[in-house]
């Protein structure tokens, strides 16, 4: 599955992406804000990720810039199953922080979730990463008012995670604001 946003191509990972993926994610400042990625993030972790079996009900994507022929990976985004539903997740490589790519990618994945028939999504962010909370709010997620411990593989411990939800049946995903 592929999806094109205004500036991004969201595409599946391929085996030949392992090196580029490693180059984008092997940064403690990125990985510490992800629940499932280990630290240190090693080349074999990238190889395992690109070789894993794909579940079309909860797709994940690498983020590339279309004019780059898909070779430079600037992040990742996708859906994942939880005990209580389906969650949105995303990460952006450090050189691309602050440029709106997380918001754009997250909005694209929410559009895909609607196409897949989901009527509700969950998301969360570690409380020491408020930038991710701003991304969620921009695309229409609402805080549940709950903070729960969530294990961070990179940190090797539970970390407080602010929980959000998005009711896709209520209406459209928040549209991008004009610049």
- Over residues 61-82, the pLDDT tens digits come to 999 997 765 568 999 999 999 9
The pLDDT assigned to 174 comes to: 56
DSSP output for 7-36: S-EEE---GGGHHHHHHHH--HHHHTT-SS
Position with higher pLDDT, 173 vs 161: 161
The pLDDT assigned to 109 comes to: 98
Q: Which two tokens stand for residue 116?
A: 């897949």
Residue 153 pLDDT greater than 90, yes or no: yes
Residue 175 pLDDT greater than 60, yes or no: no
Domain ranges of the chain: 3-170
Average pLDDT score over the chain: 93
- CA-CA distance, 171 to 179, in Å (whole number)? 23
CA distances from 140 to 50, 107, 167 (A): 30, 9, 9
Residue given tokens 């549940």 in the structure block: 144
- Over residues 21-46, the pLDDT tens digits come to 999 999 999 999 999 999 999 999 99
The candidate with the shortest Cα–Cα distance to 54, out of 29, 26, 17, is 17
Q: Which two tokens stand for residue 91?
A: 């990460």
Q: Return the DSSP state at 171.
A: S
Counting residues of the chain whose pLDDT is more than 90, the rounded percentage is: 89
> Does CATH place domain 3-170 in 3.10.20.740?
no
- Over residues 101-142, the pLDDT tens digits come to 999 999 999 999 999 999 999 999 999 999 999 999 999 999
């Amino acid at each position: 599955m592929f999806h094109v946003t205004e500036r991004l191509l969201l595409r599946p990972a391929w085996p030949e992406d392992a090196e580029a993926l490693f180059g984008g994610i092997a940064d403690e400042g990125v990985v510490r804000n992800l629940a499932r990625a280990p630290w240190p993030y090693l080349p074999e972790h990238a190889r395992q990720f690109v070789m894993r079996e794909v579940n079309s009900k909860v797709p994940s994507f690498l983020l590339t810039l279309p004019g780059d022929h898909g070779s430079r990976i600037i992040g990742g985004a996708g859906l994942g199953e939880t005990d209580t539903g389906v969650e949105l997740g995303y990460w952006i490589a450090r050189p691309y922080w602050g440029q709106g790519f997380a918001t754009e990618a997250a909005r694209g994945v929410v559009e895909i979730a609607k196409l897949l028939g989901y009527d509700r999504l969950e998301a969360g962010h570690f409380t020491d990463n408020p930038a991710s909370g701003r991304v969620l709010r921009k695309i229409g997620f609402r805080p549940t008012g709950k903070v729960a411990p969530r294990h961070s593989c990179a940190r090797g411990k539970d970390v407080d995670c602010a929980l959000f939800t998005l009711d896709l049946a209520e209406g459209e995903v928040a549209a991008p604001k004009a610049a």
